[in-house]
Copies of this chain bind each other. A is one copy, B any other.
Amino acid sequence: MDTKDIANQLVALCREGRNIEAIETLYADDVISLEVMEPMREVHGREGVLGKAHWWQGAHEVHGASVDGPWPNGDQFIVRFQFDITQKETGKRVQMDEVGLYTVRDGKITEEKFFYAT
């Protein structure tokens, strides 16, 4: 699969809420995941990224989600995610607006980096 195929598959899976499956099938073993803040500012490896995704799903109640894109260029592509969620720990309802920048090598996603509207 080329970068556009992977981008389209990631968007299609995330639109159906199948984010875990996207990581399992499209991510490289040694993928690097980059956030703005600790404690998950830099996570290495697909297993770590899966752990992060499972944590996120357990920690939030999702009321609505939309996925825009992809916007590809060469071996990278961008996807926008908007979530209407409640943080279970605080009970706080939040509108998240984030963008993911993905890098592909040899048919797998080797890096994801997330950016947040301020």
Contact = CB atoms under 8 A, between A and B. Distances in A.
A99 to B, nearest CB: 5
Interface stretch (A14-22, A23-31, A49-57, A65-73): A65-73
A83 interface: no
Identical chains bound together, number:
2
Contacts of A99: 69, 71, 78, 99
Q: Which among A69, A73, A117, A118 has the greatest number of chain B C-beta atoms within 10 A?
A: A73
Interface residues of A, number: 24
10 contacts: A36-B74, A70-B118, A71-B115, A71-B118, A73-B113, A73-B115, A73-B116, A76-B113, A76-B115, A78-B99
Interface of A: 4, 34-36, 69-74, 76-78, 80, 97-99, 101, 113-118
